[in-house]
Amino acid sequence: MDFANLTSQLNAGTILPEGIVIVTLLGVLIVDLILGRTSSRWIGYLAIAGLVAAIGALYLQWDATNPISFTGSFIGDDLSIVFRGIIALSAAVTILMSIRYIEQSGTALAEFIAILLSATLGGMFLSGASELVMIFISLETLSISSYLLTGYTKRDPRSNEAALKYLLIGASSTAIFLYGVSLLYGLSGGQTELDAIANGIAAANVGQSLGLVIALIFVIAGIGFKISAAPFHQWTPDVYEGAPTPVIAFLSVGSKAAGFALAIRLLTTVFPLVADEWRFIFTALAVLSMVLGNVVALAQTSMKRMLAYSSIAQAGFVMIGMIAGTEAGYASMVFYLMVYLFMNLCGFTCIILFSLRTGTDQIAEYSGLYQKDPLLTLALSISLLSLGGIPPLAGFFGKIYLFWAGWQAGLYWLVLLGLVTSVVSIYYYIRVVKMMVVKEPQEMSEVVKNYPEIRWNLPGFRPLQVGLIVTLIATTIAGILSNPLFTLANNSISNTAMLQATILERTQVSAISTQELEEL
């Protein structure tokens, strides 16, 4: 193998965005070592600049002619680009939030950002990974960084407990995932690349053997943990409550997007033989997540815990698109994750802002807030209503697209359940709005009565404000002006060779089966 051929096979330009993130990560660490705490004034902006540059690089790679790189272990197709973009963007907004939050907790900012960037890196690699070892390594990079982030505020016992819980559950679910992956390696006769595994399994003629089904279930256990689908969700409420809020913001968007990217790539490529089986399992997960997430969220008193259950429920909605398995289904997933980024990060920014000013995040303490902080009230209301799917906000269009795609694929009961649980979700989202907006001045909580004067010029508040306003505007208008996002989501699916093949196969199969039905 001559050198030129090797270079073309490596095709290392595909991971330029990740390269930029790595350089930024190292830059952040080194600057911190050299300058110490004094650098914390601008180090956040350095990291954001790096992430923005990475997103720019992703943009340039859109519709790359030769997406396969590293001899097949990484694919830079449009699907991976969309997911890598979502993850990088969520990291950028998370940094905007965390500058003040981490400073206030008395820990080092640069260290935090460095771990956050490595989590981002893990997530971005996971989105494009198409080889078992690569998938596992990037998954572990993401997970280990997440454990560290969860326990970052070391002096807070709740944060410690959350980290321990997350670590124990995470490590065991990764082990289960690893076991499933090793089964795949064995079943396919020693292949590690996803395509080759699929071919190997098909060639070995094991069909829908027990081994394949066990491998599938073990893999889904790992994926379900990342996207916090019930019944793999138990860590979510506790971790969300204990971990630093910016970390939660990242976990709920970035980490979840990475989980969905992995799910799409792994399940559609490796398990075409048991496609009906994994659709069935995901249907069960979606039903459980929608019901449990939405119903249990009704009974929460802590804002972060409520959003934890809400994020379980939202994962259930997203799974509808995945079960549909059509082009519109996958596109609706991507679109929903994009708008989910704006709504959730906007909501979490408000929660951070409130807890920075008052030091609490109990729902009851928000009462009467509109008088003291109208901007915060507006932004939190809009983001929660959008999560509930109220028009004309972004979440409404996201849900409509998911339901429409689900309906087109014949998932009537799932869509109806989604509609019913959406009604339930409106109730607990509006409860917070009611606390903030409806309560009379005399019903104000103690905390709000002593609300500090709003000042944006304190260190670290400007980036929070910028993040808040940008996500607020995006949540408000991303629905009405949704055409570019829709085009992006649709193109990312239609330009992805791997998905096209599966979708085609599926439509053919269903066409044949309907034909058979008609003949009968």
* Residue 457 three-state SS: coil
Q: Which of 343, 342, 332, 341 is nearest to 486 (CA)?
A: 332
Q: Which of 21, 221, 247, 328 binds another protein (CB under 8 A)?
A: 328
406 CB-near residues (< 8 Å, 6+ apart): 320, 321, 323, 324, 329, 414, 415, 418
Q: Indicate the residue among 43 and 382 with the shorter CB distance to another protein.
A: 382
Q: Indicate the residue among 235 and 397 with the shorter CB distance to another protein.
A: 397
Q: Smallest gap, in angstroms, from Cβ of residue 358 to another protein?
A: 23
Q: Smallest gap, in angstroms, from Cβ of residue 234 to another protein?
A: 29
List, in sequence order, the alpha helices (H) in 251-393. Answer: 256-270, 275-297, 303-324, 327-358, 369-372, 374-388
Q: Indicate the residue among 26 and 419 with the shorter CB distance to another protein.
A: 419
DSSP code at position 326: S
Positive or negative torsion for Cα 164, 166, 169, 174: negative
Q: Does 317 bind another protein (CB under 8 A)?
A: no
Residue span binding another protein (CB under 8 A) among the ranges 80-88, 187-195, 482-490, 504-512: 482-490
Q: Does 483 bind another protein (CB under 8 A)?
A: yes
Query: Any idea which residue has 């998911």 for tokens?
Result: 402
235 CB-near residues (< 8 Å, 6+ apart): 165, 166, 169, 170, 225, 228
Q: Does 5 bind another protein (CB under 8 A)?
A: no
Q: Indicate the residue among 175 and 420 with the shorter CB distance to another protein.
A: 420
Positive or negative torsion for Cα 484, 488, 490, 495: positive
Q: Indicate the residue among 11 and 491 with the shorter CB distance to another protein.
A: 491
Q: Which of 166, 296, 282 is nearest to 219 (CA)?
A: 282
Q: Smallest gap, in angstroms, from Cβ of residue 438 to another protein?
A: 5
Q: Smallest gap, in angstroms, from Cβ of residue 437 to another protein?
A: 6
Q: Does 452 bind another protein (CB under 8 A)?
A: no
Q: Does 137 bind another protein (CB under 8 A)?
A: no
Q: Smallest gap, in angstroms, from Cβ of residue 429 to another protein?
A: 10
Q: Does 412 bind another protein (CB under 8 A)?
A: yes
Rounded Cα gap, residues 75 and 398, in angstroms: 27
Contact 187, 212 (CB under 8 A): yes
Q: Does 482 bind another protein (CB under 8 A)?
A: yes
Q: Which of 62, 179, 461, 486 binds another protein (CB under 8 A)?
A: 486
Rounded Cα gap, residues 228 and 312, in angstroms: 6
Neighbours of 192 (CB within 10 A): 20
Q: Indicate the residue among 218 and 396 with the shorter CB distance to another protein.
A: 396
Looking at residues 257 to 316 of the shown chain, list those that interact with another protein (rule: CB under 8 A).
none
Q: Smallest gap, in angstroms, from Cβ of residue 426 to another protein?
A: 5
User: Long-range contacts: 362-365, Cβ < 8 Å, 24+?
Assistant: 362/301, 362/302, 362/303, 363/300, 363/301, 363/302, 363/303, 363/306, 363/431, 363/432, 363/435, 364/301, 364/435, 364/445, 365/445, 365/446, 365/447, 365/448
Q: Smallest gap, in angstroms, from Cβ of residue 377 to another protein?
A: 11
Q: Does 416 bind another protein (CB under 8 A)?
A: yes
Contact 126, 138 (CB under 8 A): yes
Contact 317, 290 (CB under 8 A): yes
Residue span binding another protein (CB under 8 A) among the ranges 43-51, 177-185, 249-257, 479-487: 479-487
Convert residues 417-436 into a mask of x (bound to another protein by CB under 8 A) and - (unbound): --xx-xx--xx--x--xx--
Q: Indicate the residue among 203 and 423 with the shorter CB distance to another protein.
A: 423
Q: Indicate the residue among 11 and 371 with the shorter CB distance to another protein.
A: 371
Q: Smallest gap, in angstroms, from Cβ of residue 78 to another protein?
A: 16
Q: Indicate the residue among 251 and 390 with the shorter CB distance to another protein.
A: 390
Instruction: Report phi then psi at 455, rounded to 5.
Output: -130, 125
Q: Smallest gap, in angstroms, from Cβ of residue 439 to another protein?
A: 9
| Count of residues in contact with another protein, rule CB under 8 A | 32
Looking at residues 371 to 410 of the shown chain, list those that interact with another protein (rule: CB under 8 A).
385, 390-392, 396-397, 400-401, 403-404, 407-408
Lookup: tokens for 26: 């190292």
Q: Indicate the residue among 217 and 400 with the shorter CB distance to another protein.
A: 400
Q: Smallest gap, in angstroms, from Cβ of residue 273 to another protein?
A: 29
Q: Smallest gap, in angstroms, from Cβ of residue 423 to another protein?
A: 4
Q: Smallest gap, in angstroms, from Cβ of residue 495 to another protein?
A: 15
Looking at residues 331 to 370 of the shown chain, list those that interact with another protein (rule: CB under 8 A).
331
Q: Smallest gap, in angstroms, from Cβ of residue 477 to another protein?
A: 12
Alpha-carbon radius of gyration of the chain: 23
Pairing of strands 68-69, 74-75: antiparallel
Q: Does 413 bind another protein (CB under 8 A)?
A: no
Instruction: Report phi then psi at 193, rounded to 5.
Output: -80, 145
Q: Which of 182, 199, 490, 491 binds another protein (CB under 8 A)?
A: 490
* Residue 75 three-state SS: strand
Catalog residues that contact another protein under the rule CB under 8 A.
Answer: 328, 331, 385, 390-392, 396-397, 400-401, 403-404, 407-408, 412, 415-416, 419-420, 422-423, 426-427, 430, 433-434, 437-438, 482-483, 486, 490
